[in-house]
């Protein structure tokens, strides 16, 4: 009887620890440009806010911080990486490169900056999801090829998650974009969130899995 009671207490404490770990918010930072900053939208309609809401609706305990800066390039994101991604961050969604593409910056420059971002995050044991971008047709085939291959190459090299095209389902749709044709409306943001949500859930699962492995090794 005594042994049974002790065992029950031990199991209860173990389960309580598991619940506590599962209830600890995972801190995610979205490192991006105007597409994630929420350009010309109310703060409540910005991508990080909507993504946090969608993940929580799926039962994920997360906090998603908005580190989007309008007009930022990949090099700009690299320059502010350390203060944009504070200690305690478990995962980062990297959404950069659109402004590089629009400005016609050499894809090699963009690739070096993005790779350094992912490398440094990986060194900090932060799980990364790379949100890719596509080039507009008038930049030519050579530029488009050099630019669009950046994202899968970096993801493959560092074992990061990849969402091939951040604006999938939104780009080119006038109903989902603002008058400039470049930035999503609130409805467009919701479409983006719906598309990337499975990858975001996988991102959270990787964080949880890594935490479980760490606990098991202690």
Catalytic residue among 33, 72, 183, 190: 183
- Condensed to tens digits (0 to 9), the pLDDT of residues 100-147 reads 999 999 999 999 999 999 999 999 999 999 999 999 999 999 999 999
- The reported pTM is 0.87
- d(C-alpha 138, C-alpha 147), whole Å: 13
- d(C-alpha 133, C-alpha 168), whole Å: 9
Catalytic residue among 34, 84, 100, 190: 34
Catalytic residue among 23, 142, 180, 218: 180
Residue 113 burial (C-beta neighbours within 10 Å; 0-12, 13-18, 19+): buried
Task: Give the model's pLDDT for residue 100.
Answer: 98
The whole-number average pLDDT for the span 54-71 is: 98
34 in catalytic set: yes
Is residue 69's pLDDT more than 50?
A: yes
H helix intervals, the chain: 2-23, 34-37, 47-57, 74-79, 81-84, 98-103, 107-123, 141-148, 150-158, 186-217
- d(C-alpha 30, C-alpha 52), whole Å: 11
- Condensed to tens digits (0 to 9), the pLDDT of residues 2-43 reads 455 444 444 444 444 444 356 789 999 999 999 999 999 999
106 in catalytic set: no
- Condensed to tens digits (0 to 9), the pLDDT of residues 147-193 reads 999 999 999 999 999 999 999 999 999 999 999 999 999 999 999 99
183 in catalytic set: yes
Residues 6+ apart with CB under 8 A from 126: 85, 89, 90, 91, 92
DSSP letter string, 105-157: --HHHHHHHHHHHHHHHHHTT-EEEEE-----GGG-HHHHHHHHTHHHHHHHH
- Condensed to tens digits (0 to 9), the pLDDT of residues 191-216 reads 999 999 999 999 999 999 985 445 34
Residue in this structure with the two tokens 């894809």, named with its chain if needed:
107
- Condensed to tens digits (0 to 9), the pLDDT of residues 83-97 reads 999 999 999 999 999
Query: What Å distances lie between residue 35 and 4, 38, 54, CA to CA?
Result: 57, 6, 18
Task: Give the model's pLDDT for residue 127.
Answer: 98
- Domains, the chain: 25-208 (3.40.50.1110)
Region of residue 66 (left: phi > 0; alpha: psi -120 to 50; beta: else): beta
């Amino acid at each position: 009887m005594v042994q049974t009671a002790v065992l029950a207490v031990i199991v209860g404490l173990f389960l309580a620890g598991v619940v506590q770990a599962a209830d600890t918010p995972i801190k995610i930072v979205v490192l991006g440009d105007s597409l994630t900053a929420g350009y010309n939208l109310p703060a409540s309609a910005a991508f990080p806010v909507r993504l946090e809401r969608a993940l929580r609706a799926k039962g994920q305990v997360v906090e998603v911080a908005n580190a989007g800066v309008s007009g930022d390039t990949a090099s700009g994101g690299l320059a502010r990486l350390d203060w944009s991604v504070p200690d305690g961050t478990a995962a980062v969604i990297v959404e950069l490169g659109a402004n590089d593409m629009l400005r016609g910056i050499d894809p090699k420059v963009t690739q070096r900056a993005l790779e350094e971002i992912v490398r440094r995050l990986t060194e900090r044991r932060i799980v990364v999801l790379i949100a890719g971008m596509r080039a507009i047709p008038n930049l030519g085939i050579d530029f488009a090829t050099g630019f669009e291959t950046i994202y899968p190459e970096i993801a493959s090299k560092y074992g990061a998650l990849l969402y091939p095209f951040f604006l999938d389902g939104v780009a080119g749709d006038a109903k989902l974009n603002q008058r400039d044709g470049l930035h999503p409306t609130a409805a467009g943001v919701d479409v983006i969130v719906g598309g990337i949500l499975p990858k975001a859930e996988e991102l959270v699962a990787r964080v949880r899995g890594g935490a479980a492995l760490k606990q098991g090794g202690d």
